[in-house]
């Protein structure tokens, strides 16, 4: 019977207090009364803790608001710090890239940035080697492909772009020694700019290069004989100054073997690429 009287919508209306009692069957009116009693307005006892709870509430709310404001300040500070850090990073990145692009960074940094940039498709120049770069043999080896050879050899060969040494000046002796050392078997342009300068100086003097250099070698021979006997051409100490003094005066026939010049360093350097089998067997 109760199932027929109390369907789901009626139950929902009673529970929600939204029901017309006059329309309810008598058994359901008692239920509606019970619901009403459970929803009666507050009794005084139910508000007995008002002062305590409200004070607690106010304090808790104030603490919460303070914490929220503090969080806001911290967040603002964090944002400002982050913005500064990002700006600094951007400046460093920009200036670093610009410096790297113009090859103005220290060698190690330049190389590192260049390598790093190559991974992301950014082409930055490799480090330029200064005169001190020749202190490290590995540097010279690594840069041999680029033609950026080190020290005097660059000037002597003239392979690197530039004016080359002045064949009429103090470099005349060295250029001529190199000319004879290269000999007839070398190609015309083996000496590069240096050889060209030598040729130009000889032409200006109305002589062939050999004639021009013959006098130069005599001049060098006479000047070297005045130098310290213990000092060789490359600055290495020598036990036989007399033997050393003979070398410039008689350079000997042009030869492919640089060792004929008596310079062991040059011999080692030249032999390796030309006769790999010989060096490997020794």
Partner 1 sequence: MVDSVTPDAGFALTLASAQAGDEPAIVVLYRAYNPALLRFFAVQAPRVKEDLAQEVWAAVASSLTSFEGDEGRFRAWLFTIARRRSIDYWRLVRRRPPEASDELIDFAQAEQPDDLAIRAAVSELTAGLTAEQAEVVLLRVVAGLSVEHVAAIVHKSPGAVRVIQHRALRRLAQLTDRVVTP
Residue 15 or 204: the one with the smaller Cβ distance to partner 1 is 15
Residue 71 or 257: the one with the smaller Cβ distance to partner 1 is 71
> Is the separation of the CB atoms in 127 and 119 below 8 Å?
no
Beta carbon of residue 20, minimum distance to partner 1 (angstroms, whole number): 16
Residue-wise burial string across 201-216, b where 16 or more C-beta atoms lie within 10 A, e elsewhere: bbeeeeeebeebbeeb
In DSSP notation, 19-31 reads --GGGS-HHHHHH
**At which residue do the structure tokens 């080190």 appear?**
150
Give Cα separations from 209 to 79, 83, 176, 203, 204 (angstroms): 75, 69, 8, 8, 10
Tokens linked to 45:
């006892």
Beta carbon of residue 21, minimum distance to partner 1 (angstroms, whole number): 14
List contacts with partner 1 (CB under 8 A): 2-3, 5-8, 11-12, 14-17, 26-28, 30-31, 34-35, 37-47, 49-50, 52-54, 56-58, 60-65, 68
Residue 12 or 136: the one with the smaller Cβ distance to partner 1 is 12
Beta carbon of residue 78, minimum distance to partner 1 (angstroms, whole number): 20
Taking the mean position of all CA atoms in its chain, how far away is CA 190? 36
Q: How far apart are CA 179 and CA 187, in angstroms?
A: 11
> Is the separation of the CB atoms in 129 and 116 below 8 Å?
no
Q: How far apart are CA 79 and CA 59, in angstroms?
A: 30
Beta carbon of residue 79, minimum distance to partner 1 (angstroms, whole number): 20
Beta carbon of residue 82, minimum distance to partner 1 (angstroms, whole number): 24
Residue 52 or 138: the one with the smaller Cβ distance to partner 1 is 52
> Is the separation of the CB atoms in 197 and 167 below 8 Å?
yes
Long-range contacts of 101-106 (CB under 8 A, 24+ apart): 101/125, 103/127, 103/128
Beta carbon of residue 67, minimum distance to partner 1 (angstroms, whole number): 9
Residue 52 or 163: the one with the smaller Cβ distance to partner 1 is 52
227 DSSP assignment: S
> Is the separation of the CB atoms in 140 and 149 below 8 Å?
yes
Beta carbon of residue 103, minimum distance to partner 1 (angstroms, whole number): 56
Residue 3 or 141: the one with the smaller Cβ distance to partner 1 is 3
Tokens linked to 63:
């603490």
């Amino acid at each position: 019977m109760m199932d027929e009287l109390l369907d789901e919508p009626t139950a929902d209306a009673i529970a929600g207090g939204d029901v017309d009692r006059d329309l309810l069957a008598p058994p359901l009116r008692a239920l509606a009364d019970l619901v009403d009693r459970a929803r009666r307005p507050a009794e005084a006892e139910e508000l007995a803790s008002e002062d305590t709870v409200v004070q607690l509430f106010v304090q808790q709310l104030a603490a919460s608001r303070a914490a929220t404001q503090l969080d806001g300040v911290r967040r603002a500070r964090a944002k400002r710090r982050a913005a500064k850090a990002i700006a600094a990073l951007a400046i460093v990145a920009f200036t670093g890239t610009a410096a790297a692009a113009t090859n103005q960074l220290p060698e190690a940094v330049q190389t590192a940035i260049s390598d790093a940039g190559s991974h992301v498709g950014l082409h930055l120049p490799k480090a330029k080697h200064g005169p001190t770069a020749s202190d490290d043999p590995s540097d010279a080896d690594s840069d041999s492909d680029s033609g950026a050879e080190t020290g005097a050899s660059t000037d002597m060969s003239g392979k690197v772009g530039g004016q080359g040494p002045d064949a009429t000046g103090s470099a005349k002796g060295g250029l001529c020694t190199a000319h004879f050392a290269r000999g007839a078997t070398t190609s015309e342009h083996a000496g590069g700019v240096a050889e060209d300068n030598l040729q130009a100086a000889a032409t200006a003097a109305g002589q062939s290069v050999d004639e021009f250099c013959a006098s130069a070698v005599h001049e060098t021979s006479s000047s070297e004989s005045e130098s310290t006997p213990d000092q060789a051409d490359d600055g290495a100490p020598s036990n036989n100054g007399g033997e050393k003094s003979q070398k410039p005066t008689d350079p000997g026939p042009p030869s492919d073997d640089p060792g004929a010049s008596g310079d062991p360093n040059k011999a080692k350097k030249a032999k390796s690429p030309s006769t790999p089998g010989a060096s490997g067997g020794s």
